[in-house]
Structure 1
Amino acid sequence: MQANVSEHHPAVLPYELLLPCLCIEASYGHQDGIRKKICPFQDQPEAFGPDLWSSVQFKDYSNSVKAEMAMALKDRCFLHPTASLCWKETAAPEAICQDIPNATITETGQEYILKEVDVNPQLCFKFSYKNTSHIECPHQTETAWNVSLRATFFQLHVNIRCHIPASFSAALCQKQPRGLCELEPPVYTVTHPEGSVQVDLDLILPWRALRSCLLVWRSDVRFAGKQLLCPDVSHKHWGLLACGVSLGLGLLFTVILLIRWGLHRLQRDMPSKHYSRPILLIYSPDSEEHKQLVCAFAGLLRSALGCPILLDLWELGHVGRLGIMAWMYAQRELVSQEQGQVLLLWSPGTAHSYELWHGKEDGDGGKAPEPHDLFGAAMACLQGELQGAAGTMKQSDWVIAYFSKVCGRRDIPRALRFLPRYRLPQELPGLVKVLQGPSSSAPNWLHASAKDLVRRLLKVERRKGPRSRLYHSWRTTTERLRTSSLIPLTVAKPRKPACT
């Protein structure tokens, strides 16, 4: 911006931002005239302070996996502010950011990098220049770990969920009048080992005073903010808790009288020590709710029979590293070595997956599933055992179970009808005997639990559409399987090679 100035015509120079590098240069109009430059605001931080930081562009490069905070600056005046770390107790913009001692950051080409730090939206950069300062927090809002607190009678239950290798510490603290919380020993520590799989770490701390709070922080880095968690001590909450405790004390005598009877029932229903043959559970993922019911059924078998249940949903980390095909074949080899069984859990979606596995397109133009699908891997493994050239295969090595009122015995394709089939919960005792031996028996509660599982499964299927449409599509699919020209899996003399 240029303007001519005379004694009777002063000039007015507009500006966008009042910065310390905003200067005025004056000179005479003739060539090679003397020039004079002044920067009137460079030593007046009270004047340029508000505009200075709004003119700076901040770019965040922080990485929680590498435990590194990094921020790049781009400003008009090429300033070199100092930087340090500070911690906000809350994520609110107006929250005070408390300085962290010995956390000064060195600038490298207008980039500020600090290693061995727990990246958190509340752990921020504090930039300072000539008595002015600015707080800039990491732009990413997600954290590599989070913590939750639940209070019970005289105990604090701490749950830490993380997906990076790290160590965490927790300790009780007492709130002070100024809002600080003074830490009290001992300090409890828990560690997540190497790996990127998300895990839950749990700590149980004694709780002796209602006004006590909890400090939790990451302890394997140099710089980390301490998260403050205080239990809910509202009158309503503790009134309910006191009522529950009183009721529990009143029933204590009755519970003591029932202990011997309960122990007797528990010993009777506990699985025998010889129940050790593993079971590989195969299913088709009809829906997220269906997968939850599969997990529930697997938990029932494990609790009732006391044998290992091999389920991909319980080993997602292992499956992710190996791949579903390699995991399936490895588990089948283990089951074969331990003389266990493969249990194929049949459902309305299984026939459709079976048809797709044979490469048939359905009426909606669907495509065959990916070759790394669990159900497809299981069918390929079964077909390989039937058509192999070495060894013999017992029919009880593979077993089919289906839930009544959801599908029937005739809904299983002809190619698989040579395998033992069991209707649940009616034929549950027979399934238990074939899975764990003729002398085995199911505990009394297993039958009732299986019936409840059937009711839940029916509710899931009804949410998908009217019941008549469900059975119509299911029958249509199975009829196409019966009348199609597919080559059946069965052969005259089935034999079993290794799946690998």
Structure 2
Amino acid sequence: MSSVFGPACAMLLLLCALASNAAMGQYDKMSSRSGGTRPNFTVSIDPPTLSLAVYVNVTTEVNVRVRLCYGQREEICSEHEPRVQELVTKESPSINLSFPILLPCLCVQVYYAAHDAVRTTVCPFKTLALDGKDVWRTSYLTEFEKSLKWQSRCPHKPAAALCWRNQKIPTDCLAIANSTLLADSNTNNPVIMNYNISHVDKHPNICVKLSLNSSSHAYCIFKEDLTKWHAEVVPASQHLQVYIRSPVPASFSAQLCVIQGQECVTWGAVHSVSKDGTHNKELHLPFIHLQPELCVQVWQTDPLLYSWRLFCPFSSHERWGLVAVATAIVVTSGAILTYLSYHAARRRLSAWQLRYRPVLLVCSSEQTDQLSAVCALASILQGDLCSSVHMAHLASRGGGVADLGPLPWLYGQCETVLAAGGRVLVVWSPEGNSAYQAWCGPTAEETGERQIENDQRGKEKSEGEGHHMEGSDRSMEPSGVTTSVLRAALAYLRGMLHGYGQSHGFALVGFEGLCCSQDIPKELKELPLYQLPCDFRALVQELHYCQADTRWRFWHRLFSTMQAYRVADKLAHKLQLHMPAAQA
């Protein structure tokens, strides 16, 4: 039996092998036939819109697959999301693809939707200028104990160096000379770069700056707990004192430098302290001239650690901070001192019996608007400022104008008010200007001189001659009480101007809309003029009176000014309501 089945089994195995070889040959031919052809297509790019279009040139209906990828090496193109898009030529022979970031290694692959189809890869952005910002946004840096791994989408080889981050300006990283890191490119993956940091001082302000063409980016990845020694710089007289604390014995060096642009230029000699058993060390760095951006570089020399640490005790930012703090202290102290002085002066001034000067109002017109404004002013001065107001229209019986006559009454009131330090306010108007022009003739001048002489002889005699002159004036220009009192005031004022050369205590008052500067005679323009209500604040301050001690005269003047500002605006508004324009 064994002799019969042996040849039969051998024959069966031979037939199976021949059938398998025939089938394998047929599969290889189909695969080669289907995968050997490539679709004919064109690619058009639009970099500003971050998009491209693929157009397939076919005459029959076929299914084509299109995808974006990153060309990392010649035979490898990594995936891009979305991975694959189907293109049915029956519906449309073209397709638009968009991408978020434009990189030089961005490619497009086009192939038939068949098993093991040959893929055609086109990279249309190789000739475009490299944008470093897109490279940094699509890459990342990983820290290990002795190395840094930088990985990106495209096969780039940036140079790495150390820099010092300025805490006052986070975007500013000062370059550290002779701190280039050794790079080891991964032969298995060209998009990965390894940098050796085994001898780098891992301080939080020490960063790794990667540079590619004209673009660079700083990675500050070191943690606070990685640093092994600490230093402090204290300014002193003509030198800087550096205090260093290290948990292990080590040697350190320090040198002055001046910040210029993106680097700190060394200045002066290098000062070192050797390794010994102590953990606390000191360095003395003298300087001759203090420069605005003078700093100190401190680094460990044994065991050697690359990079230095920067200390700038005289930086402009810190100086401005000190100036701001000092200014705040001075302003706060000044405000407190002013507040305390004000209240002390106010308590002192409260004992001085502050009051307002007495006022004699002389009206120059009998017009209704003028009399209404004068009465409103008299009411405010007497009611709100508690000032003693004298006025012909307000004179009481037994001592008024009708009993004494205009000239004696006016002279008596002027002497009383001026002796008390008061003011004679002549309310001027166009009618007053006309009366003044008529009064200033030759007869009026002689009459004024006689009135002054009579006033000097005595009150009783001047009263008799005053009645006589009043009668002569009335015969020249008949008028009422207002014109008579005005003439008497002008005669008194002219006597002071001619006799003493000054007019202390006299002032002119005009109301807006009722009097202008053209209505004032040339001879009276040297008198103070208060145009109400806009000059009411100055008038209130002028009437404020206090018999203060000469030692406190400044505080009295300051307090009176503040009080005048406080009440003048309110009273000016009140006076405005009584003006004819407001009533209209």
Normalising by the smaller structure, the TM-score range is 0.3 to 0.5
Structure with greater strand percent: 2
Q: Which has the larger radius of gyration?
A: 2
TM-score by length of 1: 0.38
Q: TM-score, normalised by structure 2?
A: 0.33
Question: Larger RCO: Structure 1 or Structure 2 (Cα < 8 Å, ≥ 6 residues apart)?
Answer: 1
Please identify which structure carries the higher helix content: 2
